[in-house]
Structure 1
Amino acid sequence: METTTSLRRYDLDWLRFFAIILLLFYHTGMLFSSWGWHVKNEETSLLFNYWMIWSHDWRMPLLLFISGAGTFMALGKRSKAQFVRERFTKLFVPLAFGMFVIVPPQIYFERIAEFSSFWEFYPTTFDFDPYPKGNFSWHHLWFIAYLLIYSILILPLLAFLRKPVSQGFKTFMEQIFTKPVAALMIPAVIILLSQLVLRPYFPNETHDFQDWAYFVFYFLFFAFGLIFYSNPKLWDSLGRNRKIFLSAAVLILIPFYGSFLHFRGAWSLPMNPDDVESFFDVTSIFLSWFTVLTIISYGQFYLNRPHPILKYINEGLYPFYILHQTVIIVIGYYICKWDLSIWAKYWIISFGTLEICLGIYFGLIRPFNGVRFLFGMKPVDAEKSEDLKNHSFKTT
């Protein structure tokens, strides 16, 4: 009998789409929030901070959790060597291509005053001097770099979970995590303990394989996604407990925003500044896990159904992720100079980025096997490739 987790999970496909689209609006918001970024609008608004501080805590953990589940599916009937080759093609090739082609315009527009043109700037990429001192970086593609390493690190566990000998371990996990309070608290406490040990020594999120606290933080979401997905009964229990997870995700917002508003000066908590900051960090960890569980559980219950458009969305999400931040920065640099309100600029950049990325995808990526390879996509046969070219040029 085929298990639930060996079937196509349409809910994960829809949630992956949701998470990537959220990144589009989040990264556009970085132009207008009070936080520093590569390119900024002259006028900023704290309204962006209020929703972005919340979504920041779960947007990437959600993607890592989904990626962990997807990695369990990716092994399939492949050998370990085949799995590593597939991960290399899908992850390392787009990462290398992105670092030399997609990311450099981001750095150029951040430092445009230092160069007479992009072509004067571009050779400095090959100095291989790491950003921010130099001009060589993977910027938002850190997610791909980390996912590649996570996939290799998790391979022994992944191979174990695919063998019959793992049934005892799966049953043990099932007995624990099908209980909603345990599913909420035990992973959250494990993640918290890792951060209590590591963050005093590695406090910053630098995405350079030296931010060990955040490296472990994201890896644990990836690992829990794989573990939960490996057992159909455990996975199905998430949907049944969705209301409890939602209650926890809502209630945690009280201490989360309570401490955040303390930083904003809305009120003063009876704690010293260091204690408030520690309290906020701890609350953020619980918010991350509670929110990811809530989204996964409701997605499982309501979104696990196919749609004709879903296969086209799935195919284009990866290239869209690779492209989106560069497009935001390039068009944002110019649109931020326009004499418009913040919100007008925000929506123009958001939907302009969406349209440009779709145009690049349908016109330059999807029809051509060579370009598909650079963006981590599977090739299409010659006949289908010709059809894609004809269709793409008609729609762009």
Structure 2
Amino acid sequence: MKSLVRPAVSNPVPSTRTPRSSDTNAQNTQPITSAQRRYDLDWLRIIAILILVFYHTGMIYVSWGFHIKSAEHSQPMEEVMRWLHRWRMPLLFFISGAGTFFALRRRSYGSYAGERVRRLFIPLVFGMFVIVPPQIYAEWLFRGRFSGSYGEFYPEVFNFQPYQDGGTGGAFSWHHLWFITYLFLYSLISIPVFRWLEGKSGQRFMDRISRLIARPGGALWLVGLLLLNDVALGGFFPNETHALVNDWAYFMKNLILFWLGYVLISRRDFWQTITDQRRYFLVATLVCTVILYSFRRFVSAETFDNSRLLITLFSFNGLGLTWFSVLTTIAYGYRYLNRNHRFLPHLNEAVYPFYILHQTVIILIGYYVLTQTNLGVYDGFLLISLSTLTICVFVYTLLIRPFKLTRALFGLKA
């Protein structure tokens, strides 16, 4: 299965609150209360989801596998997406972990678990039976596997045969909703970790984190957690599948990012320390970016495939790029985006149903563009992505936002 939160009061990726204040040590050491909000994380979540629309549209026009494919590919688009792939979803998992910290300041663990069921599990089940099947239907039509109506196709879902890459297998899948699946599981299995962090031993651990990140560029060293995961599990599960049962290296990588988001947002002095060191993170990100594209430019595919050392170095560099780019984004976001706007609550509410809808809309429009028009790569890309944005806005405004039932099905507060 392959490809992925409440307005000020209803985002299923828990909100992060803080007042804007001057950067003094006294304020940094004040306790974090439920009345605070980190507006920068809300803005970054919105930006990341919007980029995801263009990313998934781009999947139609690059050489990687996707549900529908153009015969024409764009190499420049693919090179940009190689970088985005290492940044976009890790950032969302980090932000989700940060939001979880604030959510648990306002509710018990039991009520938090219940909210996760309402905001994540219910939309996941709804999506697997309503939102995802049209994607599989369009793919089967595109690949010539099926030629009947949607009504004739839909009973295939209830055979509960798992979807396989390339449109093989059955019609039961979570597709891009894998993000919601993983986030739901992370939220529940992390409760014992969060309980431990509140205790004495957990706070001693946090003190060690504090001493580490206080060093110049110290937070960069936390990449070691991702490297250890890659060493331990990467050889057994080398590919991202988003299918859970055979995706443990990727599953644990994003769980670590989820935990890091929780930890690095849980003390106010961490916020300013990370922001003050943002240039270290930016330089590290640029270095990893240069290494990424140097591999692409100067190392042949044959040489790369035959060298375990190069494969390992490339993998480690990719993990460095992931962590360093997330740190850079969080640091610069807190510096420049931590401010409210009258549109922010509306955007923050809309972004979750927008995420749930977007890939289905992309594939349906993309199927029409690829089969009924002669548009080239960039014309098709713009038509599909901009049409998707427009349709998602209309569906949210007219069919989701006004009604209690649809709000509940899309994970919004009723």
User: 1:157 Cα shift?
Assistant: 2.3
User: 1:270 Cα shift?
Assistant: 9.2
2:186 pairs with 1:154: no
2:104 pairs with 1:75: yes
Aligned with residue 357 of structure 1, among 392, 402, 406:
392
**8 A contact 1:161–1:230 mirrored in 2:** no
Aligned mates of 2:241, 2:78 — CA distance in 1: 20
Aligned with residue 54 of structure 1, among 73, 79, 83:
83
Which stretch of the first structure deviates more once superposed, 337-346 or 50-59? 337-346
Aligned with residue 65 of structure 1, among 77, 80, 94:
94
For residues 214-262 of structure 1, give each alpha carbon's deviation from its aligned partner in whole angstroms, at most 9, with x where no partner exists. Answer: 0101111101000101111112211111111101100111211111234
Q: Give the secondary-structure state (helix, strand or coil) at the position aligned to 1:31.
A: helix
Partner of 1:226: 262
Q: What is the percentage of aligned positions where both structures have the same residue?
A: 46
RMSD: 1.9
Flag structure 1 segments of 5+ consecutive residues without an equivalent. Answer: 380-396
**8 A contact 1:31–1:37 mirrored in 2:** yes
User: 1:168 Cα shift?
Assistant: 3.4
Q: Give the secondary-structure state (helix, strand or coil) at the position aligned to 1:111.
A: helix
Q: Specify which structure has the bigger relative contact order, considering alpha-carbon pairs within 8 angstroms and separated by 6 or more residues.
A: 2
Aligned with residue 284 of structure 1, among 303, 318, 326:
318
Partner of 2:378: 343
Aligned mates of 1:376, 1:264 — CA distance in 2: 46
**8 A contact 1:65–1:221 mirrored in 2:** yes
Partner of 1:386: none
TM-score between the two structures when normalised by the length of structure 2: 0.87
**8 A contact 2:217–2:277 mirrored in 1:** no
**8 A contact 1:33–1:47 mirrored in 2:** no
For residues 5-48 of structure 1, give each alpha carbon's deviation from its aligned partner in whole angstroms, at most 9, with x where no partner exists. Answer: 75100000000011101101100000101111101112112112
Q: Give the secondary-structure state (helix, strand or coil) at the position aligned to 2:87.
A: helix
Give the AA of the match of 1:323.
L
User: 1:3 Cα shift?
Assistant: 3.5
For residues 114-148 of structure 1, give each alpha carbon's deviation from its aligned partner in whole angstroms, at most 9, with x where no partner exists. Answer: 13111111100000001111110000000000001
Partner of 2:17: none
Aligned mates of 1:236, 1:167 — CA distance in 2: 19
User: 1:166 Cα shift?
Assistant: 4.7
**8 A contact 1:180–1:245 mirrored in 2:** no
2:128 pairs with 1:99: yes
Aligned with residue 131 of structure 1, among 163, 166, 179:
163
2:231 pairs with 1:196: yes
Q: Give the secondary-structure state (helix, strand or coil) at the position aligned to 2:329.
A: helix
User: 1:4 Cα shift?
Assistant: 5.1
Aligned mates of 1:263, 1:61 — CA distance in 2: 27
2:108 pairs with 1:88: no
Aligned with residue 282 of structure 2, among 246, 252, 275:
246
Which residues in structure 2 correspond to 1:161-180 (within 5 Å)?
161-162=197-198, 166-180=202-216
Give the AA of the match of 2:150.
F
TM-score between the two structures when normalised by the length of structure 1: 0.91
